[in-house]
Amino acid sequence: MTKKRLLITGISGLLGSNLAYRLSDRYTIAGFYHSHPIHMHAIETRSVDLRYSVPTEAEVKTIQPDVIIHCAAQANVDDCEHNKELAWDLNVKCTKNLLAACRKLPAKFIYISTDLVYGGFRGNYNEKSPVKPRNYYALTKIEAERAVSSHSHSLILRTNFFGWNVIPKLSLAEWVVEELSQGRSIQGFTDAYFSSLYTFDFAELIHGSIQKGLSGIYNCGSSSSLSKYHFLVEVARSTGLDESLIRPVSIDASGLKAVRGKNLSLDVSKLKRDLGLPIPTIKEGIDHFVQDLSHHYRALISSSLAEGNYYPFLNGLPYGRQCLDDEDIESVLSVLKSSNLTQGPKIEEFERRLANYVGAANAVAVNAATSALHVACLAADVGPGDEVITSANTFVASANCAMYCGARPVFADIDSKTYNLDPKSLRQKLTPRTKAVIPVHFAGQSCDMKVIAQIVAEAEKKFGQKIFIIEDAAHALGSIYDGAYVGSCQYSDMAIMSFHPVKHITTGEGGAILTNDKGLDRRCTLFRSHGLTSVTEEFSHPEEAYSHSGSSPDDLILRNPWYYEQQLLGYNYRITDIQCALGVSQLNKLPRFIERRREIVNHYNELFEDFPLVQCPFEQYFGTNNFHLYVIQIDFDQTTMTRAELMNALYERGIVTQVHYIPVHTQPYYRKNFGTGWGDCPVAEQYYRRCLSLPLFPGMTDKDVIKVTWSLKQLLTTKQLLPQVP
């Protein structure tokens, strides 16, 4: 019998991870996390920000769940009072986005609510008791309940639970054991009652609810209640710890910011009746927890992303590198053992997976991102006499692709904060000869594509011609702009990606063109492989594609199996099945890579916060940057070292840095052939004199980040700190 497919949101949280572990033998489980990457055996986990509707819908569509258990929430009650806007986004907006994402699916939607929706005045609440939120967290959960209730296959569980937290934060029961084991005194509220349920018992009740097809609203707690003080005492007694260390206090003396009800005990008789199952008492739940304590369940449930556990093993720190594991190697070996090394099924699978991930209709995989840029320009009919505008701050391929087509590259200056193409400079560079614009999403941060699209549309109207927008997204796989993944082409005709070893995922070498236009997709496919087609409907001379089986005109007509046509001058830019097998395997790891990159970036930002010589990367408000590069700026005029001296000194310490990029318009080829040079793009040139890319790749450890930052700080000394000459 095929297992049902279960999607758990908030899978790195206490409840989500515990449910996944407990139910993994009965369901095929996938999980979404946001802030905390998590690895679980035989469970597919992905990084998804549910605040963005388009990526959420794409990811849910990929999973195709039979049941969704929505655990993800901002559950810190006091934090919700402090940041109400974020609480609303995480608890209400995310729920509505998830509901919208599954509106076309026959999926059961199970929403995890809270006992705090009740006022907490008298206790023993049943499902007919009025809801009276006394804090903002409860209010957001009630609002989310209203949205869930409109879903035809929904189940709302009002609960309170304890279990095993896999992130560095202890649950209530774990905290009691930890504190008392260390001989530390703790406080317990004598006047705050609840019906908390052990998570593994909760999992069994959810499984029963799925089997029974329950819907509507149910209280799902233990069948009895305790004060929080007596809960702590029972945990201490069951574990043989010193209960005298627990001091009874009133919740009124807690200093908590948000108001809580004092009696939130639940009547679970409706659930017991409809399930036909016994509901554990809170004491029984504690006993189950203590029994599992000896089995080290917290360690068994999950292991976080293992830092540095990738091939190759390096002695030093490059500025970027691939991160491969045994799964990647096995995926390549499986193709090497197959009958398809070049043009096989893995190419189509990789293209389909890539397009689905970013939310584009089509993807054409090629052998390099440079080839992708060339193919995109060819598909846009860029040719002699045309101009193609791109950023001065990019790799030379972003401009060379225009040259390959016989067109003239034109360089726009960059924004001083984002280092991306400056829309004001773009507007100045547009002419009647402009055929294409190639914005470059430098270091992973998206250009302001909505503004760029508007400027291009105005130019199209002014000049009466089509101007193609081709996003150079070689740095930006996994980044988000305006609620959608970069590469979805919501403001462009095409976008290209790179899978070079230093990028977010790798195919060894490789690239892709993404588009929502069927015509452009087909042209890109033809240009990729010599301009050849074997598609009957595309033949210019179909009469040459068929043969008669006999001498009579009435005899059967057969398609010549060897026949093909060259319809345009294409190239051999094909990628292989070997590469795409690696690409598919790497795509599975992309969510983990994204989260680890963000953790490293946040660590860098924190360590450089009080160091005035370093300017950290700026991030725009309208998107989420999946950093490909971590580029700082250093005012070398205020230091004792030149950039070359600093880079060499870091290299001696095993730290490889890089400069991204020398402005393209200053390259000898462009100076000689187009008369460009220093002074053409002053902002890009000023940026170039100060920029330095530090190591950034998912295999870095926190110790690596500290080594880089402290080495740089030690080497850089401000001139003001030097001894003054008498």
Tens-place pLDDT, residues 612-666: 999 999 999 888 999 999 999 999 988 889 999 999 999 998 999 999 999 999 9
Tell me 40's DSSP state.
Answer: B
Examine the pLDDT at 225 and tell me if it is beyond 50.
yes
Task: Tell me if 314 sits within 8 A of 655, measured CB to CB.
Answer: no
Residues 292 and 403 in one domain: no
205 and 268 both lie in a single domain: yes
d(CA 28, CA 30): 7
In the structure, what pLDDT confidence band is assigned to residue 491 with cuts at 50, 70 and 90?
very high
Read off the CATH number of the domain in which 170 is found. Answer: 3.40.50.720
> Region 525-535: what's the mean pLDDT?
95
Residues 556, 562: Cα–Cα separation, whole Å? 18
* Cβ burial, residue 619 (10 Å; 0-12/13-18/19+): middle
Q: Which residues contact 702 (CB under 8 A, 6 or more apart)?
A: 307, 603
290 falls within a domain: yes
DSSP letters, 226-261, are EEHHHHHHHHHHHHT--GGGEEEE-GGGS--SS---
Averaged confidence pLDDT in the chain: 91
Residue 330 lies in a domain: yes
**Domain closes at, from 577, 596, 630:** 577
Question: Is residue 94 located within the same domain as residue 152?
Answer: yes
Residues 214 and 90: their CA atoms lie apart, in Å, by 26
Q: Does residue 609 belong to any structural domain of this protein?
A: yes
Are 561 and 665 part of one and the same domain? no
Range from 81-85, 210-214, 414-418 carrying the lowest mean pLDDT: 81-85
Q: Does 508 reside within a domain?
A: yes
103-142 as b/e, with b when 16 or more CB fall inside 10 Å? eebebbbbbbbbbbbbbbeebebebebebebbbbbbbbbb
Query: Length of the chain, please?
Result: 726
What is residue 721's predicted lDDT score, i.e. its pLDDT?
42
Check: CB of residue 215 under 8 Å from CB of residue 271.
no
CA 100/CA 52 separation, integer angstroms? 11
Q: Are residues 500 and 549 in the same domain?
A: no
Q: Where are the alpha helices (DSSP H) in 280-325?
A: 282-293, 297-301
Write the pLDDT tens digit of every residue in 166-177: 766 678 898 898
Minimal CA–CA distance to 40: which of 331, 297, 293, 292? Answer: 297
Q: Sheet containing 511-515: which strands, arranged edge to edge?
A: 362-366, 511-515, 494-498, 468-472, 434-438, 387-391, 408-412
Where do we find the tokens 């209960």?
A: 243
pTM exceeds cut of 0.75: no
Over residues 666-687, the pLDDT tens digits come to 999 999 999 999 999 999 999 9
Strands 246-249 and 197-198: unpaired
pLDDT score at 723 = 41
Residue whose tokens read 């230091």 = 639
d(CA 397, CA 12): 40
CA distances from 232 to 159, 173, 180, 226, 381 (A): 19, 7, 10, 10, 73
Collapsed DSSP state (helix, strand, coil) of residue 483 = coil
| Helix/strand/coil for 56 | helix
DSSP 384-437: TT-EEEEESSS-THHHHHHHHTT-EEEEE-B-TTT-SBPHHHHHHH--TTEEEE
| Residue corresponding to tokens 């908390």 | 196
Q: Read off the pLDDT of residues 578-614 as tens digits, 9 standing for 90 and up.
A: 999 999 999 988 988 999 999 999 999 999 998 999 9
Distance between CA atoms of 496 and 490, rounded to whole angstroms? Answer: 14
Q: What is the CATH number of the domain that holds 347?
A: 3.40.640.10
The candidate with the shortest Cα–Cα distance to 437, out of 416, 412, 418, is: 412
Q: How confident is the model at residue 547 (pLDDT cuts 50, 70, 90)?
A: confident
Q: What's the pLDDT at 255?
A: 80
Mean pLDDT of 471-492: 96
Cα–Cα distance for residue pair 101/81, rounded to 1 Å? 28
Q: What is the pLDDT of residue 552?
A: 55
Distance CA 414, CA 686 (A): 10
Number of domains in the chain: 4
pLDDT at 543: 85
User: For the segment 4-38, what is each residue's pLDDT rounded down to a tens digit?
Assistant: 999 999 998 999 999 998 998 899 999 999 877 77
Q: Which two tokens stand for residue 307?
A: 């830092």
Whether residues 553 and 535 fall in one domain: no
Give CA–CA dist 646/668, Å, rounded.
26
Q: Please determine, for residue 720, whether its predicted confidence score (pLDDT) is greater than 70.
A: no
- pLDDT band at residue 372 under the 50/70/90 scheme: very high
Q: What is the CA radius of gyration of the chain?
A: 30
Bond into 564 cis (ω within 30): no
In a domain, 139, yes or no: yes
169, 285: one domain: yes
* Residue 11 covered by a domain: yes
In a domain, 320, yes or no: no
Summarize the confidence of residues 116-135 as an average pLDDT.
Answer: 94
If asked whether residues 387 and 402 sit together in one domain, one would say: yes
Q: Is the pLDDT of residue 299 over 70?
A: no
Q: Which amino acid, 400?
A: N
Q: What are the tens digits of pLDDT across the range 320-336?
A: 999 898 888 888 998 99
Q: pLDDT category, 551, cuts 50, 70, 90? A: low
Tell me: the pLDDT tens digits for 47-75? 899 999 999 999 999 999 999 999 999 99
**Do 438 and 502 have their domain in common?**
yes
Q: What is the pLDDT confidence band of residue 726, given thresholds at 50, 70 and 90?
A: very low
368's CB contacts (< 8 A; 6+ apart) are 498, 500, 509, 510, 511, 573
Q: Is residue 99 located within the same domain as residue 9?
A: yes
Q: Kindly report the backbone phi and psi dihedral angles of residue 464, in degrees, each rounded to the nearest multiple of 5, phi listed first.
A: 65, 40
Quick check: 304 pLDDT over 70? no
Residue 305 has pLDDT above 60, yes or no: no
β partners of residue 549: none
Looking at residue 254, what is its pLDDT?
79
Q: Is residue 204, in this structure, part of any structural domain at all? A: yes
pLDDT value of position 221: 97
pLDDT digits (tens, 9 = 90+) for 373-385: 999 999 999 999 9
Dist. CA 370–CA 525, nearest whole Å: 15
The rounded distance, in Å, linking the Cα atoms of 564 and 541 is: 10
| Token pair for 342 | 């070049």
CB 525 within 8 A of CB 375: no
Mark whether 365 and 408 lie in a shared domain: yes
DSSP state of 541: -
Range of 609's domain?
586-721
pLDDT, tens only, 247-293: 999 998 878 888 888 999 999 999 999 999 999 999 999 999 998 88
pLDDT of residue 174: 87
pLDDT value for 555: 55
CATH number, domain with residue 703: 3.90.1150.10
> Which H, E and C letters describe 98-152, residue by residue?
HHHHCCCCCCEEEEECCHHHCCCCCCCECCCCCCCCCCHHHHHHHHHHHHHHCCC
Residues 107 and 45 in one domain: yes
**Which residues contact residue 344 at a Cβ distance below 8 angstroms, ignoring those fewer than 6 apart?**
335, 338, 577
